Amino acid sequence: MVENNINEKKLDILRDLLVDEGHTIDDLKRLVIKSKPFIQIGSKTGKILISHNFPFRVVERVILYLIGIYFSKELNLNLDLQITSRNISEGINAAQTTLSGQLGELVNKNIVSKNEGSYTIKYYEIEKTLDHLSSIYLANNDAILEKAPHIKPKMYKKNKITKKPNLDKNQLKVKEFNEEIFNEIIRKCGLDKDELDSIFSIDKHTIILIRGFRGDGAIETHIKSTLLSLTANKIYFGLDEINSSELRRILENSGVDRLTPLSTNLKKFPNYVIHRRGAIGSTNNTYRLTNLGFQKGIMILNDIINNTKDFKLDIKPRIKRELLPPISIEENKLMQNITEFSRENDLEEEKLKITFDFQTDNLRLLKKPTEKTRKIIQIKSLMMLGVILKRVYHANSFSGGKLLRDSHISNDRLDLLDSNKDYNTYFSKKPKTAMQLTYAGELKAIEMVKELAA
């Protein structure tokens, strides 16, 4: 009995060390207050919006994005979303190739956990991280917004490197409405303030497009909405340049959809809008309005006000690639060709049938090549599938992406396959086109099939 009492007292003392991974309402409220200067969450989409008012480093943007995802899941948003490096890359507008080292370091420091390729911020690290960011970016807010610190890139070679021109720091300054510039511009352009108020909503230095930005198709909508946003930025704030993430936020808030190809579409109009990139891995990218772009923006405004159609785009029609015909062969002919192919190449027909899934309208590779790298697996798989298609199905060309997807093999980065030294020996066409094997490729592929089906 005495021993039981002693053990119970020990347990009471030791319970003080126990930490609950959950959180109280007060804890959550405190974390939300500390997060608000840095992140916002789309109420319908659950998209994580990281503030553009601070020159965050890539690793800081990664952490803020993961914190935002944590809160969004608490709001029952993004519940089924797997937070992979690609997802993070798209979420923070940074190249995926720059993230692997950053994420690995965060995992090693026990700030982030990784489970089956999905990353999660550890709850007890959230407040510590937010306090650290606040001490950097909120302690002297004005100085930080005026100029971002320059981070010198690592030099791995002694070769001369041509420096890129410094980006205009207009996008890093706090926007202020300049009434004198505003009145001068609208006077020269013959615009009226009340009419502009029917097109733009300016709320706390944020531009929202109310009407007039939609066009016939995504390309026209993207260039019109971008020109209107940049023109408003110049009229109200006297700035020619805007941060790329801020531009996307304006367009999203204005209801412009299908923004994934925005930068690709804007590249078609370099005379109107110039995309200025920062250093490799930097998120400090901007769009600058040219003089001709400003003229076109004023033209769009006059079209909206006067209900005219003077603004016209010379959009070249998209050249459609000829689609490959689907695989199609009669079942009797397919069985006959399998038998002939097996006999000609000294293969056991039954082993061949358990290596490939032969269907009258499809072909799948059932055994994956035992290689370590994605690229070699893709090349070997495509060679074997290609030779079967040619010799059994009598199809000379094939879609590499479709064949790999159907065989449950990764079809990522097919455009990089021809960097392999043997690719051009075995294939006569570029990746992501109607691929074909060379004669040398057919012979090598048959050897691979024999080895795999042995």
Residue 62: both structure tokens together:
């990664």
d(CA 445, CA 426): 9
State how far the Cα of 281 lies from the Cα of 102, in Å rounded to an integer: 11
CA distance 407 to 405: 5
Type of residue found at 54? F
The structure tokens listed for 450 are 């024999």
Name the CATH architecture for the domain at 21-146.
Orthogonal Bundle (1.10)
Residue 299 has pLDDT above 90, yes or no: yes
pLDDT, residue 217, reads 85
Q: Where in 244-397 does DSSP place strands (E)?
A: 273-276, 286-289, 356-359, 362-365
Question: What local confidence, expressed as pLDDT, does residue 134 receive?
Answer: 84
φ, ψ dihedrals at 43, nearest 5°: -65, -30
Query: Global pTM?
Result: 0.38
How much is the pLDDT for 172? 42
Q: Which two tokens stand for residue 197?
A: 């108020």
Report the run of H or E that residue 242 belongs to, with start and end. Answer: strand 241-243
pLDDT higher than threshold 50 for residue 426: yes
Question: Coil, strand or helix: which one is 435?
Answer: strand
- The answer to whether the CB of 289 falls within 8 A of the CB of 273 is yes
Per-residue pLDDT band for 332 (boundaries 50, 70, 90) equals very high
Among the listed ranges 78-87, 225-234, 393-402, which one has the minimum average pLDDT value?
A: 78-87
Quote the CA–CA distance of 370 and 93 in Å, as a whole number. 35
Residue labelled with tokens 């940049």: 230
Architecture (CATH level 2) of domain 173-306: Orthogonal Bundle (1.10)
What distance in Å separates the CA atoms of residue 415 and residue 422, rounded to the nearest whole number? 15
Tokens of 409: 């093999």
| Residue 442 and residue 416 in contact, taking contact as beta carbons nearer than 8 Å | no
Of the given ranges (283-287, 327-331, 410-414), which has the lowest mean pLDDT? 283-287
- Phi, psi angle pair for 120, to nearest 5°: -140, 135
The ranges assigned to domains in the chain are: 21-146, 173-306, 331-452
pLDDT score, position 435: 87
What pLDDT score was predicted for residue 315?
A: 65
Nearest-10 Cα torsion for 417, 422, 424, 429? -50
Neighbours of 168 (CB within 10 A): 14
CA angle 423, 408, 437 (to 5 degrees): 25
For 7-41, how does the pLDDT look when each residue is reduced to its tens digit (9 = 90+)? 666 666 665 555 454 556 777 788 888 888 889 88
Residue 314 has pLDDT above 80, yes or no: no
> pLDDT at position 272, please?
92
SS3 assignment, position 418: helix
CA distance 13 to 335: 77
Q: 21-146 with 173-306: one CATH topology?
A: yes
Q: What whole-number distance in Å separates Cα of residue 451 and Cα of residue 370?
A: 11
